[in-house]
Structure 1
Amino acid sequence: MSGPVLPRRGFLAATAGFAAALTLAACGDEGTPTQAAPTAAAGGWTFTDDRDKKLDLPKRPARVVAQVGAAAALWDFGVRPVGVFGPHKLKDGTRDPQVGNVDITKVRGLGNVWDEFNVEQYIALQPDLLVSSMYIKGTLWYVPEKSKATIEQVAPTAGIMLTGRSAMQVIGKYEELAKSLGADLQGVPEAKARLEAAGKELAAFKDLKILMMSAGPDSMWVVNPPEYPDIVHLTENGLNVVKPSKVDEGGFFQTLSWENADTYDADVILYDTRTQSLKPAEMMKKPTFAKLPAVKAGQLYPWSAEAPYSYQGYADFVEGLVANLKKASKLP
């Protein structure tokens, strides 16, 4: 994840995917696509997405294709996509963390890296609906610009906005979509209660100064809290997250050279765990980073930067964070 050419692609996309392109169905490991959890209901279906676009179909979509983040959220609510695109499979064939609980043996993979989307396979799936998150209103995440027109002719699309919202707002929108698709929402009340309980615990750590970052070979990115739903959720619940004084174009983060890793004081550092972000052992090879007080104190903890936007996904994320913060203390 070297210095970003484009802000969103450099930080968001480059850290999101890494594996070589999946081959066609000859790979033989994609399984048989499953229907969405509900069967298509009689009567019409409507849903207004975050582009303010009202989708109006003669029947409820049954065959849903989704970007991995959207698929992970919908899966937890009980919707079973037939296809996914975006980082979903690691080099060893196991699930990429970004795809959450999705059973990748039962969905067709249409692409595993940025700018990869197999349009022919998408058409063959006979989708009723494509769902993706959006960091920029109107731009569906991981839908390649070069194929956008064709993809949008195949089936209606729905976009769920991430930027500038809290995680609870995003989760609520996915819940609304899942309900409209007839999902059973099994396990949702319990997970929602877990998330609320964990959220209340965050206020106990309000005195800790927390820096959230992602790491590349030549740079580290200090994220800008208001732009990320998960960080908005954390700050709304009392965490003191460092806000960079100067952000790059696009507003998502500030790029720092490793020589300037000590620009901001912090008691705790949360690092991006996505595949192409450097791991702690690699970051420790950067002398300025290794000397940071939080690092020397062992207060370097994982940040699940793309936890599924479901109550289950966020309960797991916040509970894990609380457990780590209980081990931390304010530094001199």
Structure 2
Amino acid sequence: MSLSVMPRRGFMAAGLGLVFALAACGSGADTASPAAGGSPAASGSAAASGAGSGPWTFTDDRGKKLQAPARPSRVVAQVGAAAALWDFGVRPVAVFGPHRLTDGSKDPQVGDVDITKVESIGNVWDEFNVEKYISLQPDLLVSGMYDKALWYVPEKSAATIEQVAPTLGVRLNGRSAPEIIKKYGEVAASLGADLGAPLVTEAKAAFDAAAAALPSPATKKLKIMAIAGGPETMWVVNPDDHAGVRYLRELGLDVVVPDKVDEGGFWESLSWENADKYEADVILVDNRTQSMKIDEMKRKPTFAKLPAVTANQVYGWNSEERFSYKGFADLLQKLGADLSKAKEL
């Protein structure tokens, strides 16, 4: 399947490694190409105090009303959800999705989750150890989702996984970052986290300060383009679908909006020969391990000649964000530092 008809979830969440893997198997894009309160929290944390004594209910972004006789205490989460929940004080018992690099260190996508204290039931796309999941006796599975599909839950195992414990989905596309952060906060609170704890309130203050500190378009008007790259293709992010880039526009930053978004959404696919289609003073490049690196992109002649490239105004960015106040404060602080160095070209 070509990039133009690839499901919208295929780009910003999975990373280019998945895009290429899907292509290889004929489904992809580029043909060349311990639970909430499970352990005592540190002083000042927002960790939950354990399972509640009464029934638990929550309506997720599928409109699905989840019910349990008591608050779930054994939570399994996809790494993006785990990273967000961790920052709100919830401690999953296990994670799935990219959390450990080949050298054994943490994948940045897992945030502050202590991967030495959680079980792993899968580290790459389409890897989900159902038997281990069942053995953990989970009360709840939490994952982000694009459209209606829970992210990194294999379709072939979805029916079995749904029978083991309730699943909770948080929609990641078509909404702004603060909306998603708020939703994860609601999930965390339902699991017993204290949203008034210093861990959360201090992170919220840092988030607000970082957003306010971004260079004002009135004083420094910069055209910003967010991209990712593969061997044959440069993808330009569509802010309407990408929560983080959408939020940058809401803050007033001038972000490139592709005029010919692919059918699946999320981006416009361009050959590297057409990398100069849009003018930009600053280029933000997907910095995950799966994506083409900036130095590799600079070997593409058309890209190398772009004004932002020749001016060294090309910066790495986290295209699969951590939807918590702490995670986004870190992202905005880095972006602010990068933009403060840039100039209008």
Q: TM-score, normalised by structure 1?
A: 0.91
Shift in Å, 1:110:
1.0
Distance 1:17 1:191 in 2: 32
Corresponding residue for 2:143?
A: 132
Corresponding residue for 1:121?
A: 132
Give SS of 2:279's match.
coil
Shift in Å, 1:112:
1.2
Write the letter of the residue equivalent to 1:49.
D
Shift in Å, 1:54:
1.2
Shift in Å, 1:35:
3.3
Distance 1:202 1:157, change over 3 A: same
Q: Deviations over 1:12-47 (max 9, x none)?
A: 3551767xxxxxxxxxxxxxxx23223211111111
Distance 1:314 1:259 in 2: 34
Q: TM-score, normalised by structure 2?
A: 0.87
Distance 1:17 1:92 in 2: 17
Distance 1:178 1:9 in 2: 24
Shift in Å, 1:6:
2.4
Q: Deviations over 1:73-105 (max 9, x none)?
A: 000000000111111110001111111111111
Corresponding residue for 1:29?
A: none
Distance 1:143 1:212 in 2: 27
Distance 2:78 2:309 in 1: 35
Distance 2:10 2:305 in 1: 26
Q: 1:89 aligns with which of 100, 109, 114?
A: 100
Taking the TM superposition and a 5 Å limit, the aligned residue runs for 1:1-332 are 6-8=6-8, 10-12=10-12, 14-15=14-15, 34-37=34-37, 38=48, 39-136=50-147, 138-185=148-195, 186=197, 187-202=199-214, 204-205=216-217, 207-331=221-345
Give SS of 2:283's match.
strand
Shift in Å, 1:177:
0.7
Distance 1:118 1:184 in 2: 32
Q: Deviations over 1:288-330 (max 9, x none)?
A: 1111100000100111112210000000000110010000010
Distance 1:133 1:96 in 2: 17
Give SS of 2:67's match.
strand
Write the letter of the residue equivalent to 2:292.
L
Shift in Å, 1:10:
4.4
Kept after mapping to 2: 8 A contact 1:17/1:114: no
Write the letter of the residue equivalent to 2:130.
V
Which consecutive residues of structure 1, in runs of 5 or more, have no partner in the other structure?
19-33
Write the letter of the residue equivalent to 2:177.
A
Shift in Å, 1:11:
2.0
Distance 1:304 1:112, change over 3 A: same
Task: Point out 4+ residue stretches in structure 1 off by more than 6 angstroms.
Answer: none
Shift in Å, 1:107:
1.0
Give SS of 1:255's match.
strand
**Percent identity for Structure 1 against Structure 2:** 64
Kept after mapping to 2: 8 A contact 1:65/1:81: yes
Shift in Å, 1:50:
0.6
Shift in Å, 1:199:
1.2
Kept after mapping to 1: 8 A contact 2:177/2:244: yes
Kept after mapping to 2: 8 A contact 1:17/1:113: no
Corresponding residue for 1:21?
A: none
Write the letter of the residue equivalent to 2:216.
A
Give SS of 2:316's match.
strand
Report how many residues are paired. Answer: 314
